[in-house]
Structures are given as C-alpha cells and as structure tokens.
Structure 1
Amino acid sequence: MPQPSLSVGLNTIWVVLTASMIFFMEGGFALLEAGFIRSKNHVSIIMKVFADLIFGVFAYFVVGFGLMFGKDTLGLFGRSGFALSGSLSHLPTTIPHSAFWLFQSAFTVAAVSIVSGAVAERMNFKAYLLFAIIMTSVIYPISGHWVWAADGWLGKLGMKDFAGSTVIHAMAGFSALVAAQMVGPRIGKFDKNGRSQPFAPSNIPLAAIGTFILWFGWFGFNSGSTLNAEANDISQIAMNTLLASIAGGGSALLYTLFRNDKADVSATMNGILSGLVAITAGCAYVSPFAALIIGACSGVLMIWATTWFDILKIDDPVGAIAVHGVNGLFGTVMVGFFSQQGGLFTTGNIHLLAVQCLGAVTVSVWGMATTWGSLKLIRLVSPLRVTKSQEELGLDLSHHGLTATHVDLGVKTNSIPEHPILKKSHHTSFIRETVED
C-alpha cells in the first residue's frame, strides 16, 4: 500500500480535527436548547441530540452520502457510494474518502439538530426519530447534491455556498418552520386573543455555555470546509467568521438595549449565532468589512423574524427558524451582493445574485415541502405530538422516565398516587420520590 504524501497527511489531520470540532457542536446544541426550554424537558432535548448523532450518522453512511456525493444523475442526486462502496474516484483526492465522509457526516447531524429545538417540549419522540432518519438519509443529501456535488444543477449554475448557509441552515431552518407548525404550539404559548405568552428560559448560563461551544465549533465548520490544510484563505475565513458573529451579537445587544432599555442576553446569544449562520455561505468570498455588515444586519433581522413568527403563531422555543432559516437565506443572498468575484456591489454583475436567490429559495422550499410530506407519512404510524397530560407532566418523565436533576431529601413513601403515565415506567419508584420532593 503506497504511503500518502505529506500534503495528504496534513490535509487528513486538518479535516479530522475540524470534523471533530463540528461534532462537538452537538454538545452546544444540547446545552443551548436545554437552557432555553423548561427544565421538565431537559432530558428530552438531550435525547433528541443523541438520536441525531446515533441515527443520523448511520442513515447518512448507508444512504445519504451516496445520494449527496455519488455519481451524478441529471444534476439531481447521486447513485453510488452508498456505505462508501463502489467507485469513489470522482471525490476529492486531497484527502482519503473516509475523511471526506467524516466531515460531511458532521454537517449532516448539524442540519437535523436545528429542527430538534423548534419542536422541543411537545413532539413525540418516536415520530422525531423517524423524521431524523428521513432528514439525514434523503432530504438533506438530495438538496445538498444540487449545490455541492461536482455536477449538481445549482453548483453548475455558479451558486456559492462555501460552508452551508443554504445547504444546511436555510434548508433545516425552513424545515423546522413546517415541523413547528404541524406539531403546533405548546400549551399556553398563545392566549385566547392569539398573543404570545413568554416562557422564561430555564437556565441562561447553560444556554450561554452552549453558545460558546457552537461559536468555537463554527471555526471548524467554516475553515474546515477548505478540506485543505495548506489553503491560503483559512485565516481569512476564520476572521470573517469572527467578525460576523460579533457584529450579529453586538447589533442584537444594542437593538434590545435602546428599544427596551435592557440588553437581552437571549437575543445577544441568538444574534451571535445569526451572524455565524449568515456568514457561512460567504466566509471565503467576501471582505472583512462585508462580513461586519452581513453580521450586523443578521442580528436585527433575527429579532424581527422572531416577532413575525409569533404573529403567525409559530412556536419556536429556541429561535431556530429565525436564526438558521431566515439568516441562512439572507446570508446566501448577501454573497450575490458582496462576493469579491461576481458580486453586484463589487463588480456590477447581477448574475451571481440571481443564482444565489434562486438557489436559496429552491432549497428552502425543498426543505419545507419534503418535511411536510415526511411528517404526513410519519403521522400514519405515530402521533406527531405528545398528549396533553404528557406535555403538562414534562417529556423527561413521560417519555424518558427521569428528570434532569434530583434533590434527595430523604423522603421515602409509597403513599403518593401514581400518575397514569408513570405506571409504565421502570423508574416508577424513583419518579414518585422525585414528584414528592
């Protein structure tokens, strides 16, 4: 077996390292979402993120990777490479195929994790498992093929989405919009007049740690997409990523400070993430000054979009639709304005802007339509939503049989009436002590 060149070895280390950073972002998703929702559903959201990893990676290995990067069929989907089998000679040769798959599988899990937060606190776990498998094996890979595969139809038109503002974030964000609408709002989220009722986050420090983890992982997300440790623009990509994120967080902080006379920490965290989402498409194509503009606009846009979705009675406990969907689409379109090669503001050429708009809208609509169809099918075999009593009790107890935290006060009793949901749990005695506490 021939020894790999030094260049291939360095590239492999770089890709494996950055893929690991992206996988670590799942811890960020878990903590961020847990901090934003109520404490009775902490275990539930963490289980969804574990399910994304376990079933998402498996589904992508067996089916999704082949549909996304297999030999092309009419620019629409791949037809080879399932379970990394068959000829893979068309894939990048600067790294082993296994390293390329590893990096792409990390992206896949990030996509489905965006949906988990939008349907938190009320979606049936079995239904979510089925959807996660469909998302990672079919929905995400097919639209991803259009943009990132060598012969994908949007890529051939010239669409630029360096690390996935549309391929990952807009697609999954608008998928989350449909999922949240179909599952319905949480009990008590909207009053009888349709006004949104705020549910206080359970743990802001937990959400903040999650934000920092996601922020850290995003440097792997964007810079790692070079797939090349010797690329000249790695530092430029990282700089644009940082500049957009601070601009997004800064604009959200200042907007809430001057509008409400109080700086909103939740909006600031989502502003940082909005800047990261928006710059992901153009981090390798725009100037640092453009990155600041894109990030600053994204933070305010996120706040406005959150208000719009409340008016539409779409319940999104963590703001995933506004952060990922709206700003994924926005960031992709901004490449058409600010790209240093082909941007409207930099060259006066409108072609790239038109392609960016077409691609962003098409992939977003694909995410919405396929999610609607998938959930319609899933509804035939499993209810999408938990029962009222399960939701009121909390999904931690009703679906997973334990709470995230437990304070042992030494109370031991068998006199507490059993909740009908808890009778089926093998943790019944523990749960009854928890309820008593």
Structure 2
Amino acid sequence: MDVGLFTANNVWMMICTALVFFMHLGFSLLEIGLTRQKNTINILFKNVFIICVGLLIYYIGGFNLMYPGDFNGYIGFAGFGLEAPILPDGSLDLSYSEGYTYWTDFLFQGMFAATAATIVSGAVAERIKLGGFMIFTLIYVGLVYPIVGSWQWGGGFLSTLGGDDAGFHDFAGSTLVHSVGGWAALIAIYILGPRIGKFSEDGTPNAIPGHNIPLAAAGVLILWLGWFGFNGGSVLSADPAGTSIVLVTTCLAAAAGGIGAFVVSTILYKNYDLTMMLNGVLGGLVGITAGADLMSPFESIVIGLIAGAIIVFGVALIDRLKLDDPVGAVAVHLICGIWGTLAVGIFGVKAGMSQFLYQLSGVAATGVFCCLTAFIILFAIKKVSGIRVSKEEELEGLDLHEHGMDAYADFRMNQH
C-alpha cells in the first residue's frame, strides 16, 4: 500500500466529515430563519440534541446495523460498539479500506445518520412536544435509518437487484438519507396536524412568515458548502477524477435548482420569492445526490432545473393536501429525493428501463418501510404521552414553555 496516498485519501475523508458536520449548522439556521422567533430555542435545542444523540446511538449499534458484514440482505447486526481491525502487533489494520481507516468510516457515516432526523425537525417545527421528538429521534436514527442503509451500502438486497453487476444506485443518499427523513417528515406532519392559523376555515392556506430570512439564506449557503463533503466524501477517497466531477455536478445542479425554482415561482406567483429560490437550491442538491458520480455537467443542470420546478409545485401540493411543513422539508428531501433517485435511470451512464425499475424498486421499498415504522413510532408516542403541545403553549411559543428562555431576550415581540 502507498502510505502517502492512503494518508491523503484519509485526510480528504476527514475534511469531508467536518463539512458534513458543518451542515448541521446550516439546517439549524434554515429552520430558525423560516419559523417564528418564539420557537428559536426549541429548534436549536432539537438540532444540537440530534447530532449529540445521533453519534452516540450510531456508536452503540447503528454502525454495525448498517454494515453488518454477512447477512441475509434485509437485516443483520455485527454487535454493539466499535471494534477496529487490529493486527497482532497492536497496530491498526490499514487494509480495512484503500481510502480511509475504520475510525474515519464510522465518523463520516455517523454524520449522515443524524441528518435523517434533522430533516424531520424542520417539518414538525413549532408544535411538537420536545420529549416525543427526542424519543422518535432515538428510535429512527438508531434502527430505521441504518436498516435502510444496509440494504444498499451494507451489501443488502437493493445492491444486488438484477444480479451482482446491477442493482439500485444511490451514490450519496437521495433515497437512503434524504427520503428516509422525508418519509418520516410526511407521516409526522400528517399525525401532528397544521399549526394554529395555517389554514382558514375554508381550507385556504395562510402564510406564516419566518422571523429571519437572512439566517435562512445563510443556512442554505452553508448547506451548499457542506454538500462538498456530503457528495465529495461519498467518492470514499481523494481520487482526483472522481471527486472533481462529483463536485462539478453537485454545484451545477444546485445552481440550476435555484434558477429553476426562481423562474417557475416568478411565472406562477409574479414575484421574486427568495425562500422558494433557496429551497430550489436545496432541491437541486438533493436531486443530484443519487447520481452525482454518473452524470455529465449538462445532465446535472437538467436534473437541477427539474428539481427546482418540483419544489414550487411540491410546496403547493403540500398546502393543497392541508399539510403544514414550515420549511418545505417534504418537497425538498422527499419529492426531490425521489426525483433524483429515478433520474439515475433516465440520465447518466446507467440510464435505461432496467435501471429505472431498480431505482423505482428502491424508492418503493424505502417508502413502505419508512412510512410504516415512522407511523408506528409516532402513533405509539401519541397514545402514550401525547405528541403535540397545548394550544396555549403553541400560541405563546415553545421557547417559553419548554425551555424557559428567549432567543432574543431584549427584543421579545408579540408574535401571536
């Protein structure tokens, strides 16, 4: 083994790990920016809790549930905790991978695991009980996410559909990360119901403006930066050709997503909606994530443009269904995640009907499993302890009732 090359690869993977960690700040700023001031502490608490408990639960069992070694292709478990491959002389076995050590692998994958619950956090903002959300996070990140991940990245049944050389393809997680969170978000907002005042008596949706759009914009730009690690690290080495094209396709899709959402929303609503453009950027990023390693620059632009348009129609669809998603998480992570996954069968080097059917199978299997498990977890929490805060708590704000503090203590305003 070329030790110098191995070191370079491992350093790149650690940098990407740091970038994915940085994305949690982006999610936090986006969520608080698009929601009301009186719930800022609550949202920040949830996001910090997610990364803390996500890493710990992934250490306890999630990592070995996601990468169980030999198993039946559906569920397996390699044991609790971490046990790195050690040589007889006590040194770390560097043959674990050509691109990174065992420890780097755990940390990089652990950052992905926490993302699934972060997606749900934004969708359920401003009306979910904190205790119920924390219980949901423990179970969903600890069990559901790693099981779905094992189906593809752990060598499970999705990776071998159609034979050893074929199979479902999800490069960095349009389905395995983003739609896993998106399906749970959809079920959660259905069970929770809309925020007070979101819909009029005749069902007309009312806008509930976020309190700090500059923070939301900063969050999206941080997320775009973090995607350099999210997709770039999924090359699993610092291979110049592989990382370069992945970063190019990722950035072009993001830019095209922003433009696509801007153009479509301007045509439909006759105004320049910044929040729609911001979510369009994220939609483009989610859309390219499944096939960033397979697409040409032009194809990535097409995927991003379509994802941007999907955002506009997806947000409208959620409103039409009388569902309340304060940050557009379902449109971004679920609908664009599905689009990006199916796009692998339409564009790129694997395009074809067989591959499209493999992609569709992966979307369907993930959707059924995630919807069932999310519903069971959330319904059980609802029956045992309740899942939604009281009307008084919602109107006065979760910061005051669940945390006893204000995010902006000197500038408390009436936001009812």
Q: Matched residues in 2 for 1:300 and 1:403: separation?
A: 37
1:24 alignment counterpart: 22
- Select between 379-388 and 186-195 the one with higher mean Cα deviation: 379-388
Q: Matched residues in 2 for 1:352 and 1:216: separation?
A: 30
Residue 382 (str. 1) matches residue 390 (str. 2): no
Q: Matched residues in 1 for 2:64 and 2:75: separation?
A: 8
- Select between 182-191 and 256-265 the one with higher mean Cα deviation: 256-265
**C-alpha spacing 1:387/1:226, structure 2 compared with 1 (3 Å):** same
> Which residue, out of 129, 133, 143, partners 1:128?
133
Q: Offset of 1:231 from its aligned partner?
A: 4.7
2:121 alignment counterpart: 116
CA contact (8 A) 1:80 1:86 kept: no
Q: Matched residues in 2 for 1:156 and 1:4: separation?
A: 31
CA contact (8 A) 1:63 1:82 kept: yes
2:157 alignment counterpart: 153
- For residue 399 of structure 2, give the secondary structure of its aligned residue in structure 1: helix
Q: Which deviations, in whole Å up to 9, do the C-alpha atoms of 1:273-318 show, x marking residues without a partner?
A: 0000000000001111110110000011111111111111111000
Q: Matched residues in 2 for 1:45 and 1:161: separation?
A: 30
CA contact (8 A) 1:32 1:208 kept: yes
Residue 41 (str. 1) matches residue 39 (str. 2): yes
Q: Matched residues in 1 for 2:23 and 2:34: separation?
A: 16
Residue 103 (str. 1) matches residue 108 (str. 2): yes
1:427 alignment counterpart: none
Question: What root-mean-square deviation, in Å, do the aligned CA atoms of Structure 1 and Structure 2 show?
Answer: 1.8
CA contact (8 A) 2:185 2:329 kept: yes
* Residues 247-396 of structure 1 aligned to structure 2 (within 5 Å): 247-340=256-349, 342-344=350-352, 350-396=353-399
Residue 226 (str. 1) matches residue 235 (str. 2): yes
Across the two proteins, how many residue pairs are aligned to each other?
402
Q: Matched residues in 2 for 1:11 and 1:104: separation?
A: 16
2:65 alignment counterpart: 67
Q: Offset of 1:380 from its aligned partner?
A: 4.0
CA contact (8 A) 2:85 2:96 kept: no
CA contact (8 A) 2:99 2:238 kept: no
Residue 198 (str. 1) matches residue 207 (str. 2): yes
CA contact (8 A) 2:341 2:363 kept: yes
1:143 alignment counterpart: 148
Q: Matched residues in 2 for 1:311 and 1:230: separation?
A: 46
* Residues 201-216 of structure 1 aligned to structure 2 (within 5 Å): 201-216=210-225
**C-alpha spacing 1:7/1:153, structure 2 compared with 1 (3 Å):** same
Q: Matched residues in 2 for 1:396 and 1:4: separation?
A: 54
Q: Matched residues in 2 for 1:258 and 1:325: separation?
A: 24
Q: Offset of 1:87 from its aligned partner?
A: 6.4
CA contact (8 A) 2:85 2:102 kept: no
Q: Which deviations, in whole Å up to 9, do the C-alpha atoms of 1:385-421 show, x marking residues without a partner?
A: 111111111001111111110218xxxxxxxxxxxxx
Q: Matched residues in 2 for 1:244 and 1:364: separation?
A: 24
1:412 alignment counterpart: none
CA contact (8 A) 1:69 1:81 kept: no
Q: Matched residues in 2 for 1:72 and 1:39: separation?
A: 49
Q: Matched residues in 2 for 1:294 and 1:213: separation?
A: 21
1:419 alignment counterpart: none
CA contact (8 A) 2:84 2:102 kept: no
- Select between 5-14 and 316-325 the one with higher mean Cα deviation: 5-14
- For residue 103 of structure 2, give the secondary structure of its aligned residue in structure 1: helix
- Select between 55-64 and 71-80 the one with higher mean Cα deviation: 71-80
Q: State the AA in 2 paired with 1:155.
A: S
- For residue 191 of structure 1, give the secondary structure of its aligned residue in structure 2: coil
Q: Which deviations, in whole Å up to 9, do the C-alpha atoms of 1:91-120 show, x marking residues without a partner?
A: 635311110000000101111100000000
CA contact (8 A) 1:171 1:367 kept: yes
Q: Matched residues in 2 for 1:258 and 1:301: separation?
A: 14
- For residue 222 of structure 1, give the secondary structure of its aligned residue in structure 2: helix
Q: Offset of 1:4 from its aligned partner?
A: 8.3
Q: Matched residues in 1 for 2:79 and 2:21: separation?
A: 22
So what's the TM-score if we normalise by structure 2? Answer: 0.93
Q: State the AA in 2 paired with 1:198.
A: A
Q: State the AA in 2 paired with 1:383.
A: G
Q: Which deviations, in whole Å up to 9, do the C-alpha atoms of 1:105-162 show, x marking residues without a partner?
A: 010111110000000000000000001111111010000100111x210011211100
Q: Which has the higher contact order (CA 8 A, sep 6+)?
A: 2
Q: Matched residues in 1 for 2:77 and 2:98: separation?
A: 20
> Which residue, out of 183, 197, 203, partners 1:188?
197
CA contact (8 A) 1:40 1:394 kept: yes
Q: Matched residues in 2 for 1:182 and 1:383: separation?
A: 11
* Residues 47-62 of structure 1 aligned to structure 2 (within 5 Å): 47-62=45-60
- For residue 23 of structure 2, give the secondary structure of its aligned residue in structure 1: helix
Q: Matched residues in 2 for 1:244 and 1:44: separation?
A: 32
Residue 400 (str. 1) matches residue 408 (str. 2): no
CA contact (8 A) 1:15 1:228 kept: yes
What is the percent sequence identity of the aligned residues? 39
- Select between 329-338 and 374-383 the one with higher mean Cα deviation: 374-383
- For residue 241 of structure 2, give the secondary structure of its aligned residue in structure 1: coil
- Select between 184-193 and 120-129 the one with higher mean Cα deviation: 184-193
Q: Which runs of 5+ in 2 are unaligned?
A: 87-92, 162-166
Q: Which runs of 5+ in 1 are unaligned?
A: 345-349, 409-432
